Amino acid sequence: MGIFSSLFSSQKQVLEPFDLSIIGTDMHSHLIPGIDDGSRSMDETIAMLAKFESLGYKKVITTPHIMNEVYPNGPETILGGLSKVQETANSLGLAIEITAAAEYYFDETLVEKVKNKSVLSFDDYVLVEFSFHSKPEFEDQLFFEMQTAAYKPILAHFERYPYYHGSIDKAVYFKEKGVSIQLNLNSLTGHYGQNVKKQAELLIDEGLVDFAATDCHRIQHLMLLEEHLRNPYFHKLGELNLLNKSL
Summary mean pLDDT of the chain: 95
User: What is the total count of domains within the chain?
Assistant: 1
Backbone angles phi, psi at 49, to 5 degrees: -65, -40
Residue 5 falls inside a structural domain: no
Domain that holds residue 222: 21-246
pLDDT in tens, 37-78: 999 999 999 999 999 999 999 999 999 999 988 999 999 999
Would you place residue 10 in the very low, low, confident or very high pLDDT band (cuts 50, 70, 90)? very low
Residue 197 falls inside a structural domain: yes
Q: What distances in angstroms separate CA 96 from CA 49, 89, 104, 108, one per listed residue?
A: 7, 9, 25, 36
Q: Is the pLDDT of residue 187 over 90?
A: yes
Q: What is the pLDDT of residue 13?
A: 75
Residue 204 falls inside a structural domain: yes
Q: What is the pLDDT of residue 4?
A: 55
Backbone angles phi, psi at 180, to 5 degrees: -85, 150
**How far apart, in whole angstroms, are the C-alpha atoms of residue 144 and residue 126?**
13
CATH of the domain at 74: 3.20.20.140
Q: What is the pLDDT of residue 6?
A: 54
Q: What is the pLDDT of residue 96?
A: 98
